[in-house]
Amino acid sequence: MMKSLSGFITLLILCGSVLYMIYRARKGVKPEIRRVPGFDVIDEAIGRATEMGRPVHFTKGLASLYSSEAPQTIAGLSILSYVARKCAQNGIPLITTIYVAETIPLVIQMYREAAAVAGVPEWVNEYNIRYMSSHRFTYATGVQGVLQRERPAASFLMGYFMAEALIFAESGFLAGAMQVAGTASTSQTPFFVAVCDYTLLGDELFAAGAYLSGEPVQVASIAGQDVGKYWANILLMVGLILSAVGSNWLINLLKL
Amino acid sequence: MLGLGVAITTVMGIRNILDIAIGGLITKGETTWIVPIILGVLLFTRFFRQVAWLSRWPLALLVGIGIGISLGSGIDANFITQIRSTITGVKDINQALLGVMVILTITYFIFSIGKAQREKGVLKYTAQLGRYIMMICFGALFGNTVMTRMALFIGQMRFLLFDWLKLG
């Protein structure tokens, strides 16, 4: 529940800017967003798996569809959709390990759509969509097993992760997989940065989902969110200057 | 282990449905439980091709509720409170530097910038600095976690060797 007036105004600014950008995109004005090097690495990893004739592994982490980390899962699913399309086009198996059971139908649908777009409906093999467990370390053990047995050439870790992040990344490394990770979980990002070949940092995960989907509406929503970042920077700059000269005006305003 | 984990989750799920939802509906007469029961049943329609589309409704509801809840609390906790804490009590150079670093890091995450800005605008340099700041932070976090784990390991080894086996 919204607790403060300042929070409500910020919410209005954020939602307003996102809706405005989406409105513009629907009118045909697609905003330009910068390409992050990590986006290219996704293609490179899939290309590597194709050349080696080995499968690709994907996990979208631990967050459900209704927790505060849900946006990370949704971004992970957007990237999964792209990865599935590429794998279907190249004819290589994509193994998705699942922690949250509710996402299974979404993943199956993505596999089917990817196969339909690529014109290879026979590519869908539901055995490759593997529900492990909804207990964190049981899930981690299951993913470790998949990585060791199947030896994927590429492993994507996109979504919300906790202490098991390093278990996945180390197992993928030992299996010889090229690993691309992406998470907005600050406590786990250092481990991904240390072990994986490329890491999408924080908001890059959300941008990747939108960028790779190529949909003007999703790209517009990223541009709309940027307004929120400018808003945060303005508040910080004004606040720092005022605070340095001993004024608590903005701090009190943000408490309203 | 994996089978055990799945089995426990299944049993707990069935018990929750029987005890909380169906139990609440039948024994306590709480009719509101009908809504989640129906939504839960709709999830299984995906096994029947003709009505499979119905399984999307409970999922859509879950996503909508999740986003609604996280928006309300998230803006306060992750936006307003963070900004207020950063700008509170700027008395020394360290506090001011912290604020500047936050601003630089945020500029790294601005994606909708034109080609000219990206190649030679001021955002190019601020974003680069923001990236370096994040890497320093990640290094510190990584080192801190490794040191914590090492301290736990040394503590356990001391207990095993000196307290338990009485070797020292």
Q: Is this complex scored with an ipTM above 0.85?
A: no
CA dist., res. A51 & res. A88, Å (int):
14
Side-chain-side CA neighbours of A250 within 13 Å: the count stands at: 25
Residues A190 and A246 grouped into a single domain: no
Which pLDDT value is given to residue A133? 86
Of B81, B83, B80, the closest CA to residue B98 belongs to B83
Which pLDDT value is given to residue B76? 84
Q: How many CB pairs under 8 A join A and B?
A: 164
Note the pLDDT tens digit of each residue in B138-168.
999 999 988 999 999 999 999 999 999 988 7
pLDDT of B1 over the 70 cut: no
Residues B95 and B79 grouped into a single domain: no
In chain A, what residues touch B113 (CB-CB under 8 Å)? 32, 34
Q: Looking at chain A, which runs of residues are DSSP E strands? A: 56-61, 94-98, 129-131, 154-160, 178-183, 198-201
Residues A166 and A203 grouped into a single domain: yes
CA dist., res. A96 & res. A199, Å (int):
19
Q: Among B6, B79, B90, whose Cβ lies nearest the Cβ of A244?
A: B90
Question: Which of B69, B88, B107 lies at the terminal end of a domain, its last residue?
Answer: B88
pLDDT of A1 over the 60 cut: no
Q: Name the strands in the sheet holding A178-183, side by side, starting at the edge strand that comes first in the sequence.
A: A129-131, A94-98, A56-61, A154-160, A178-183, A198-201
Q: What is the mean pLDDT of residues A125-153?
A: 92
Q: What is the mean pLDDT of residues A48-65?
A: 92
pLDDT confidence of B111, banded at 50, 70, 90? confident
**Would the CB atoms of A202 and B72 count as touching at under 8 Å?**
no
Count how many domains chain B has.
2
Residues B11 and B64 grouped into a single domain: yes
Q: Among B9, B56, B118, whose Cβ lies nearest the Cβ of A133?
A: B9
Note the pLDDT tens digit of each residue in B3-22.
787 788 888 888 888 888 88
pLDDT confidence of A181, banded at 50, 70, 90? very high
Residues A95 and A78 grouped into a single domain: yes
Q: What is the mean pLDDT of residues A151-174?
A: 93
Residues B49 and B97 grouped into a single domain: no
pLDDT of A90 over the 80 cut: yes
- Structural domain range at position B111: 91-168
- Cα–Cα distances (Å) from A41 to A35, A48, A131, A139, in that order, read 11, 10, 27, 26
Residues A105 and A208 grouped into a single domain: yes
Count how many domains chain A has.
2
The pTM of the full predicted model, rounded to 2 decimals, is 0.79
- What are the beta bridge partners of residue A158? A182
**Would the CB atoms of B79 and A232 count as touching at under 8 Å?**
yes
Which pLDDT value is given to residue A113? 92
**Would the CB atoms of A70 and B5 count as touching at under 8 Å?**
no
Which pLDDT value is given to residue A120? 92
Residues A79 and A183 grouped into a single domain: yes
- Structural domain range at position A113: 37-213
